[in-house]
């Protein structure tokens, strides 16, 4: 298949998924475009043709595709467009996320051809998998990207895509969000960075200290982008969560690829 264009698509509040999608997409021969589904606001529907491919990535929240990402993925429409699926997760587990992503993309008219589950720095407890994806992970992702590129060429002679098998089971795990509160300290200058960048517009347009906790998806983006470090989660609470997580997944997980 001579691909006209490869589009790297991601929902990535703190950047890990963006890195993974860009690393993999970069190795697939063909013209590249990127589509960021993280920012708030209205977006159009996007249409993709049979001679295109997408690499689509989401972070794992509670073993699932984040509901906000799922909603935005429904703006994508394929016409038997090949799709490479990517899920990044904070070294605990990705559970049903890849299967859910596969089913969403199939429903939207895409043909999932390959998938990757990539351990990445846990964006809530950053002492878990710190700095990942690291050099070794990037090397493996690049190798995977090259293999996917070859697979697209093979498909040219025999355009039959089998059913991609990924881990996960139905009914999917239930996830109702994490009960962590983000506090805003006195160093907040109300500069508006977090207001503009919150994926779900959960921060008041006029006062960054005021948050709609019902709307907040605890994606950690506001904490990451705050130029004065004014937004924080209580240290003791974070230590307790970190302790619990390290107990259930003490070992380094490696990227997994399905092709
Ligand atoms: C609300 C929430 C839930 C999460 N749930 C999981 C999980 O179930 N398993 C896991 O290993 N990591 C989990 N993580 C960690 C993220 O999946 C991980 O840090 C991811 O790479 C973040 O992607 P991003 O930088 O593209 O936003 C969770 C993070 C958040 C914010």
**Ligand 1: does its nearest atom lie under 6 Å from the Cβ of 218?**
yes
Distance 220 CA to ligand 1 centre (A): 10
Residue 252 lies in a domain: no
Span 43-47, average pLDDT:
96
Say which CATH number the domain at 202 has. 3.30.70.20
- Are 60 and 93 within one domain? yes
- Are 16 and 58 within one domain? yes
Lowest mean pLDDT among 85-99, 217-231, 235-249: 235-249
Residue having the nearest C-alpha atom to atom 5 of ligand 1: 61
Alpha helices in 39-87 (DSSP H): 67-73
Distance 82 CA to ligand 1 centre (A): 26
Tell me the torsion sign for CA atoms 208, 73, 84, 26.
negative
Span 148-166, average pLDDT:
76
Cβ neighbour number for residue 236 with a 10 Å cutoff = 8
Distance 227 CA to ligand 1 centre (A): 22
Give pLDDT tens digits for 184-206: 999 999 999 999 999 999 999 99
Query: Which numbered atom of ligand 1 lies nearest the CA of 219?
Result: 31
Q: Which domain holds residue 73?
A: 5-170
Please give the C-alpha separations between residue 136 and each of 86, 120, 147, in angstroms, as whole numbers. Answer: 17, 12, 17
pLDDT band at residue 163 under the 50/70/90 scheme: confident
Taking Cα atoms as reference points, which of 154, 48, 167, 60 lies closest to residue 110? 48
Residue 144 lies in a domain: yes
Give pLDDT tens digits for 109-150: 999 999 999 999 999 999 999 999 999 999 999 999 999 999
**Ligand 1: does its nearest atom lie under 6 Å from the Cβ of 133?**
no
- Are 84 and 161 within one domain? yes
pTM: 0.97
Domain count, the chain: 2
Residue 199 lies in a domain: yes
């Amino acid at each position: 298949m001579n691909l006209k264009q490869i589009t790297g698509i991601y929902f990535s509040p703190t950047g890990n998924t963006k890195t993974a999608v860009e690393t993999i997409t970069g190795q697939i021969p063909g013209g590249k475009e990127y589509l960021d589904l993280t920012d708030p606001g209205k977006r159009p529907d996007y249409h993709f043709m049979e001679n295109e491919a997408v690499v689509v990535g989401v972070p794992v929240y509670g073993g699932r595709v984040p509901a906000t990402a799922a909603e935005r993925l429904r703006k994508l429409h394929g016409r038997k467009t090949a799709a490479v699926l990517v899920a990044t997760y904070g070294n605990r587990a990705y559970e049903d996320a890849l299967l859910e992503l596969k089913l969403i993309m199939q429903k939207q008219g895409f043909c999932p051809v390959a998938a990757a589950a990539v351990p990445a720095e846990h964006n809530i407890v950053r002492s878990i998998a710190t700095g990942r994806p690291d050099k070794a992970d990037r090397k493996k992702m690049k190798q995977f990207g090259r293999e996917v590129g070859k697979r697209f060429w093979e498909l040219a002679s025999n355009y039959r895509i089998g059913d991609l098998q990924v881990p996960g089971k139905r009914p999917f795990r239930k996830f109702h969000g994490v009960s962590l509160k983000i506090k805003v300290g006195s160093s907040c200058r109300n500069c508006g960075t977090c207001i503009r960048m919150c994926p779900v517009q959960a921060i008041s347009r006029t006062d960054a200290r005021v948050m709609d906790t019902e709307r907040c998806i605890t994606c950690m983006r506001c904490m990451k982008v705050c130029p004065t470090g004014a937004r924080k989660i209580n240290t003791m609470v974070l230590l307790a969560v970190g302790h619990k997580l390290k107990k259930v997944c003490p070992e380094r997980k490696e990227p997994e690829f399905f092709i």
